[in-house]
Chain A
């Protein structure tokens, strides 16, 4: 009899058998968890009767699952839906347009009665939206508008950027006499980012033409914001302003400035971002040189996610809404506390 000294795969087989069992059990459990709420929903594919159009389910397709806003939005939207006896479904797109397209197609096939979708690529989503409408479903576009839709929930990302750019320009004119140096942390990869970037840069350069623009760097996360800002500061240690397309990136810039010895309360420095992210709001509240954030209120968005499809179902005229973006500064303590509470 020959023996193989090399480790036997017997344990591997045992493991595979075991893991097969575990996977099967997990699959069954998951299937149980994701089963339809009740038979009526499934029996009524549209989930809405033709006469009353009473919605029982709304699908929220928010693709940027890695962002903190995703969790907040799902939590608040679920609560808002519950008030109307509506269940909220969500997708898991992981910021992938292909995954988003697949998930939306699945929902249309399943005839989810109302779909609220934030298209990563608007043009690519048009056909899916048309199929949804053709199937008698409600399609609400989030963050923009499509040709084929029942209604939309709009935010002016351009306006958010503009608000920040104008505020920073006003500060530069008042505190720096219209002179100084600014670095922009931008995003050119998605529509939302391009609009925010354009609004921010156009508004600032128009209102503070004497300030020298020394950098426009792609950065949407704090790590990149930190390393890009560090590099810019090495070349321009007298940098006065950093404006970010996101609060996360701007927060990285905020930390980079502090690491180069800038006091957190420095009177000649301005950092601002967009989103209303908690760390940035806290920095604004503390009176640091992180002076402003163009913020959306998650509660307003969550209410719109539920109210707009319900309004369409009820046959209301002009069901679309525009969710306001407001600039939050040092003096807006109550507003900051409210936003922080919504994000908790």
Chain B
């Protein structure tokens, strides 16, 4: 028996052909999607346990903090700026949250708000120096990376630990069966995508990144939006730090978040965000984050020796970046 199906008549709902075309376009625009799928397939075939729910959960939790920072950082990069201080800001966020929760015995809400305030402060300093005083974002945030780390070590020279069961909720609880950090990351991803696609400020981000002077002449406030993005990036980094502190129930000023800035920037660039500004998408950033998470996890599952892991990671990153660059040109 055959059943006649009625194609949707709503013009806003794409038909199957349109969906297929859209899917193909999506693949063309994000060749990393193909690489990611191939990588997952290879890891599953070689390890047999890559797609196990427990492993996917671990990858998701690891990727969550990366995604939380990568989204606002991507918006900042699209607007033509950069923040290299996120690793140190992450440490400060974790330390402040840990200090409130563990040493001051404050509620988890106070601890997290304290961390967010500290992150906002770092972001605001970056924003004022870069957006309002016109200093180089690269230099300013590189300086802040060191200065904030030094401040963190000065204020908290010893490890903080034992933050209590209340604070452990942030990193260890589940919401509808999904780990809280993953839920937070999904919210950040959705918010970032909606902001870029649906709000005037989101369009301004692209406009400022493409040509700052032209954006100014078009009446766009070219300082306020990037400044806000610096603050949001600082807040996101501090939130990620609080989550990590909660997951580990400890935080060390000297090592927490060390090198994180490069990992998150790698995810952003792998996701197709142009370092020169003006282009990029949240979906691409998600792919970049998942690519890094899956690669790290898969190599560990395969028990690849340390130095080979480093070589494989470097090679995969270059290959992924090359595909992201050449892929769209080859499929035109």
* Chain A residues within 8 Å of B, Cβ to Cβ: 5-7, 9, 11-12, 15, 65-68, 70-72, 186, 188, 214-218, 221-223, 226-228, 230-235, 237, 248, 251-252, 255, 259-260, 277-279, 282, 343-344
Q: Which residues of B contact A278 (CB under 8 A)?
A: 158-159, 161
Contact in complex: B254, A67 (CB < 8 Å): yes
Cα-based distance from A186 to B303 in the complex (angstroms): 13
Q: Is A343 a contact partner of B223 (Cβ separation < 8 A)?
A: no
Q: Please indicate the chain B residues that have their CB under 8 angstroms from the CB of A227 in the complex.
A: 58, 62, 296-297, 300
Partner of B157, one of A9, A71, A260, A277: A71
CB distance from B178 to the nearest CB of A (A): 14
* Inter-chain pairs besides A66-B258, A222-B252, A230-B58, 19 sampled, C-beta below 8 Å: A5-B216, A5-B217, A6-B216, A66-B253, A68-B252, A68-B254, A71-B158, A186-B306, A217-B300, A222-B250, A231-B55, A232-B301, A234-B52, A234-B297, A251-B248, A260-B54, A279-B161, A279-B162, A344-B158
Q: Which of A71, A231, A235, A343 has the most CB of B within 10 A?
A: A231
Find chain B residues with CB under 8 A from A230 CB: 55, 58, 61-62
Neighbouring A residues of B303 by C-beta, 8 Å: 214-216
For the complex, give the distance between the alpha carbons of A5 and B134 in Å: 15
Interchain CA distance A11-B129 in the complex, whole Å: 11
19 residue pairs of the A-B complex, CB under 8 angstroms, read A7-B134, A9-B134, A66-B252, A66-B258, A67-B255, A188-B307, A217-B300, A217-B306, A221-B255, A223-B248, A230-B61, A231-B55, A232-B301, A233-B58, A234-B49, A235-B47, A237-B54, A248-B255, A282-B162
Question: Which residue of chain B has the shortest Cβ distance to A12 in the bound complex?
Answer: B134
Instruction: Report the separation of the CA atoms of residues A227 and B135 in the bound assembly, to the nearest whole angstrom.
Output: 37
Residue of A72, A215, A221, A260 ringed by the most chain B CB atoms within 10 A: A221
- B83 within 8 Å of A (CB atoms): no
**Closest CB in chain A relative to B298 CB, distance in Å:** 8
B247 CB within 8 Å of chain A:
yes
Minimum CB–CB distance from B187 to chain A (whole Å) comes to 21
Chain B residue numbers with a CB within 8 Å of A259 are 61, 172, 247
B273-306 interface bits toward A, Cβ cutoff 8 Å, 1 = contact, 0 = none: 0000000000000000000000011001101011
Residue of B161, B249, B254, B301 with highest tally of chain A CB at under 10 A: B254
CB distance from A201 to the nearest CB of B (A): 14
* A70 engages B58 (CB within 8 Å): no
Output the least CB separation between A183 and chain B (Å). Answer: 10
Contact A248 B252 (CB under 8 A): yes
Enumerate chain A residues within 8 angstroms of B248, measured Cβ to Cβ.
222-223, 226, 251-252, 255
**In the complex, the 10 A-B pairs of residues with the closest C-beta atoms, listed nearest first:** A66-B254, A71-B157, A234-B55, A279-B161, A230-B58, A231-B300, A218-B306, A279-B250, A15-B133, A12-B134
Q: Chain B residues near A222 (CB, 8 Å)?
A: 248, 250, 252, 255
> Does residue B44 face the partner (Cβ distance < 8 Å to A)?
no
Point out the residues of chain A lying under 8 angstroms from B249, CB to CB. 255, 279
Residues of B within 8 A of A255 (CB): 247-249
> Are B132 and A11 in touch, CB under 8 angstroms?
yes
The answer for the CA separation of A7 and B307 in the assembled complex, in Å, is: 49
How many angstroms between the C-alpha atoms of A221 and B135 in the bound complex?
34
Known: A67-B255, A71-B153, A235-B49. A279 touches B58 (CB 8 A): no
Verify if B204 is at the interface (C-beta below 8 Å from A). no
**CB nearest neighbor in A for B158:** A68
> Interface readout for B205-235 with A: 1 if CB under 8 Å, 0 if not?
0000000010011000011000000000000
* CB pair B161 A282 closer than 8 Å: yes
Q: A228 to chain B: which residues have CB within 8 Å?
A: 300
Contacting A at CB under 8 A, from B139-187, are 153, 157-159, 161-162, 172
State how many angstroms separate the Cβ of B210 from the closest Cβ of chain A.
15
**How far is the CB of B15 from the nearest CB of chain A, in Å?**
40
Specify which chain A residues have a CB less than 8 angstroms from the CB of B301 in the assembled complex. 231-232, 234-235
Per the bound structure, the CA–CA distance linking A223 and B157 in Å amounts to: 19
Q: Shortest Cβ distance from A148 into chain B, in angstroms?
A: 31
Query: Which residue of chain A lies nearest to B213 when distances are taken between CB atoms in the complex?
Result: A6
Query: A75's closest neighbor in chain B, by CB?
Result: B157
Determine how close the nearest CB of chain B comes to the CB of A75; give it in whole angstroms.
Answer: 8
Which of B49, B158, B162, B216 contacts A7 (CB under 8 A)? B216
Contacts of B49 in A (CB 8 A): 234-235
If A7-B216, A222-B252 touch, whether A234 touches B158 (CB-CB below 8 Å) is: no
Q: Whole-angstrom distance from the CB of A307 to the nearest CB of chain B? A: 24
Are the CB atoms of B159 and A68 closer together than 8 Å? yes
Docked pose: A217 CA to B249 CA in angstroms: 22
Task: Check if B159 sits within 8 Å of A277, measured CB to CB.
Answer: yes
CA–CA, A68 and B223, complex, Å: 40
Q: How far is the CA of A232 from the CA of B132 in the complex (A)?
A: 48
Q: Specify which of A67, A68, A234, A343 is in contact with B58 (CB 8 Å cutoff).
A: A234
Give every chain B residue within 8 A of A9 (Cβ-Cβ): 134
**Complex-state Cα separation, A255 to B249, whole angstroms:** 8
CB distance from B316 to the nearest CB of A (A): 16
A230 to B301, CA, bound (A): 10
Contact (Cβ within 8 A) B250 A251: yes
Instruction: Please state if A232 and B216 are interface contacts (CB–CB under 8 Å).
Output: no
Q: In the assembled complex, how far is the CB of residue A200 from the closest CB belonging to chain B, in whole angstroms?
A: 16
Residues of B within 8 A of A70 (CB): 157, 254
Bound CA span A215–B58, Å: 17
Contact A66 B54 (CB under 8 A): no
Cβ contacts under 8 Å, B134 to chain A: 7, 9, 11-12
User: Which chain A residues border B244 with CB–CB below 8 Å?
Assistant: 223
**Proximity bits, B231-249, A CB within 8 Å = 1, else 0:** 0000000000000100111
Give CA–CA (A9, B133) in the complex, Å. Answer: 8
B52: chain A residues at CB < 8 Å are: 234
In the bound complex, residues from chain A placing their C-beta under 8 Å from that of B58 are: 227, 230-231, 233-234
The CA of A214 and the CA of B303, in the complex, are separated in Å by 8
- Which chain A residues border B213 with CB–CB below 8 Å? 6
